[in-house]
Each structure stands twice: as structure tokens, then as C-alpha cells.
Amino acid sequence: MNLSMSLLPALLLALASTARAADAATVCVYDPAGRTGFMYKMAESWAVNAQSWGASVELRPYTDEATAVNDFTAGSCDGVMASGVRIQRYNVAAYTVEAVGGVPDYALLKPVLTALQTKSAYAPIFDAGDYETVGIWPLGAVYVMVRDRSFASIGAMSGKRIASLDYDKAGALAIQRMGGIGVAADLATLGPAFNNGELDVVFLPATAYTPFELWHGIGDKGGIITSPLLQVTYQVLVHNGKFPEGFGTKSRAYVAGDFDTAMKAIQAAEDAVPATSWITPTPAAQAELDSFSQKMRLELRDQQHSYDGRVLSLLKKARCNADPARAECAQNLE
């Protein structure tokens, strides 16, 4: 009897821990570096703060993004952290932040993501029926990287071999409209194919420069166009009903305030690219890129239904507030 009584506190503690684990929401977290990556570190801080929003969160690290999203789809996880382009089919509005040419620089990206995630007027875009987007971090600008500087304009892309990811509708359409030759690739094969000369052009953020050793492909003749093609984001998507009421609002406010944390890693990656590798487009090339981007956004909104018009309008307003002289500001197209 005395032995049984002495074990009772330990038993109760174990039962309580089991109950807490059972109640914890599981979130699949993609980071190519696993637990040591900066994305996973951001997820850990988010999970700690989630306790104050009424949720206990268990994180599951994944180094393969497709597997993380598939497990979320199958219901093995209550939430998932992955790139906006990978989970675009769940919430088109949240994905539209990544619209081609939508946000031309980081100075504009911060107020855009802050407004979207903190102003109640924009709350409806995060509700996607069975799903809710509860956070959007920046993951860096996607740049056009070329093996030859003579390719460094939209018009020069015709006939060039360009990497195409099967889940990236906007990228595939961009290649088609550029007149390029789409070459099927994934994140595991893209870097080596570019470095070995099997690809002429890739669309990647600067965070890929070091791990993919892209200096081999860029060499002395190639480079990276400084004007971003688009901004890639890291989004938190959850199954509706798996988290407490009001969780999404609090989570988005936290993520908006964590913008600078993500930017530290992004800026460090961009600083690691040699200054000689950057290509500043000529005014004519920049105007061509802006016009191309606008046509892409309109087609992806109207024909492909891959972009949300409400978000495109917000992005245009932000661009024109920052630079009223832009040609698009005199038009009423977005």
C-alpha cells in the first residue's frame, strides 16, 4: 500500500503529460536544414508563443516539403509550415502575396505583410473554408539567375532552357510567355543541372546561392538580375477547427512582428553573393520586366484563377504609393 501511494504522484504526472500531448496540435514544419535551419527556429519561437494564444503545439520537422504538405493533406498534422507556392491550392488569396512583380523590394514587403496580417479588413482573405492561413513570413526575393549575361532580359529568354517546378503554375506560365523551354526539375536536381550547363536560367532566391553552390553555374559570364521576379513566402496553414477561436488573428499579428527575424537570414544570404555577380537591368529592360509582370498577373487572375484580385489591388496600391510615376498607376487594371 505504501509503495502504491508513493507511486501515485508520478502516475498522475505521467497521465497529465499524456493528456497534454494528446491535446497538442501537430504542425508539420518544412526546413531543408531540418531542426538546425532558420525556418525551424522561427517555428519553435512561434510554437512557444502559441501557448499564450491558447494552443499547445508539437512541431514535426521535415526536410522534404512535398512530404510535409502531403501529411498535412492526409490529416496527420493539424497545420503545416511551407512555401506559399507549395500550398497555393489551399488559399489562393494568401498565395497572391507572391504574385509576379507584385512587391518589387523588401522596403515595400514589410508594410504589405504587416497590413495584411494586422488589419481586420483583410482578415477574410485568410479564411479558406476548411483551412486558414495564420501567418506569412518572408523567405526572400526570387531572382532570375543566368549562365550568360546576354540572357538578362525578358526578350532574351526565348529559346533558353529554364527550370520548371511541377507545382509552380506561375513559373510555368512565365516560361511559356517568355518563349523559354521549360525543363522539369525539383529542388534536388535544379542546382546541379544549372551548374552543369543543362539549364540556362533558374528562378531562385539568394538563399539558394550557397547551399546549391550556384557560383559554379554563374561563373564569370553569368549573373543575377537585381530586380526580383517575385517574393517567396513561408506560410502557416492550419485545418479549421483544430485551434482555439481567435488563434489565427493572434498568430498573424505575431508573425507580422517577426518580419525582421526572417530578414536577417535572407539578408545574410544576399550579402554572400559577390557584388560582381549582380546585374542591374537597363531602364528599357526594367520597363520590359514591369510590363511582362503586369500581363502575367492579369492572366493569372482572369484566365488561370491563380491570383486573388483583392490582394493584387492592395499590392498595386502599395507600389503606386511608393512610386506614383510607375506606368501602371495611370491604369485601372488591378
Q: Are residues 103 and 151 in the same domain?
A: no
Domain co-membership, 211 together with 171: yes
Instruction: Evaluate whether residue 283 is within a structural domain.
Output: yes
Single residue among 214, 244, 271 that ends a domain in this structure:
271
Is there a domain that residue 67 lies in?
yes
Give residue 13's pLDDT.
41
Together in a domain, 155 and 212: yes
pLDDT for position 100:
97
Q: Is residue 325 part of a domain?
A: no
- Whether 21 has a pLDDT exceeding 60, the answer reads no
Q: Which range marks the domain in which residue 216 is found? A: 142-229+274-306
Do 94 and 221 share a structural domain?
no
Average pLDDT of the chain to the nearest whole number: 92
Let me know whether 160 and 219 are in one domain. Answer: yes
15-35: average pLDDT? 72
How do residues 46-63 score in pLDDT, each as one tens digit? 999 999 999 999 999 999
CATH of the domain at 174: 3.40.190.10
pLDDT of residue 187: 82
In a domain, 330, yes or no: no
The CATH number of whichever domain residue 84 belongs to comes to 3.40.190.170
Q: Are 217 and 242 in a shared domain?
A: no
Q: Residue 150: left (phi > 0), alpha (psi -120 to 50), or beta?
A: alpha
Is residue 148 located within the same domain as residue 26?
no
User: Percent of the chain scored above 70 by pLDDT?
Assistant: 93
∠ CA 251-258-95 to the nearest 5 degrees?
65
Q: 157 and 214, same structural domain?
A: yes
The pLDDT tens digits of the residues spanning 123-181 come to: 999 999 999 999 999 999 999 999 999 988 999 999 999 999 988 989 999 999 999 99
- Residue 16, pLDDT above cutoff 50: no
Looking at the fold, whether 94 and 42 belong to one and the same domain comes out as: yes
β-strand 278-279 against 223-225: which pairing, if any?
A: parallel
Distances 135 to 97, 181, 305 between C-alpha atoms, Å: 12, 35, 23
Task: Assess if residue 327 is contained within a domain.
Answer: no
* Whole-number pLDDT of residue 5: 45
Tens-place pLDDT, residues 214-255:
999 999 999 999 999 999 999 999 999 999 999 999 999 999
Between helix 283-302 and helix 309-322 the angle, nearest 10°, is: 160
How many domains does the structure of the chain reveal? 2
Does residue 185 sit within a domain?
Answer: yes
Residue 118 and residue 255 in one domain: yes
Residue 1 pLDDT greater than 80, yes or no: no
| pLDDT average, residue stretch 319-328 | 95
**Is 86 in contact with 167 (CB distance < 8 Å)?**
yes
Do both 189 and 236 map to the same domain?
A: no
The answer as to whether 8 is a domain residue is no
Pair 217, 277: CB distance under 8 Å: no
Residues 165 and 281 reside in one and the same domain: yes
Tens digit of each residue's pLDDT (9 = 90 or more) over 90-106: 999 999 999 999 999 99
The answer to whether position 298 is within a domain reads: yes
Q: Report the C-alpha dihedral over residues 112, 118, 123, 128, rounded to 10 degrees.
A: 70
Separation between Cα atoms, residue 229 and residue 239, nearest integer Å:
31
Q: What is the mean pLDDT of residues 21-31?
A: 84
pTM of the complete model: 0.90
Cell of residue 220, nine digits = 564569370
Specify the pLDDT at position 188: 83
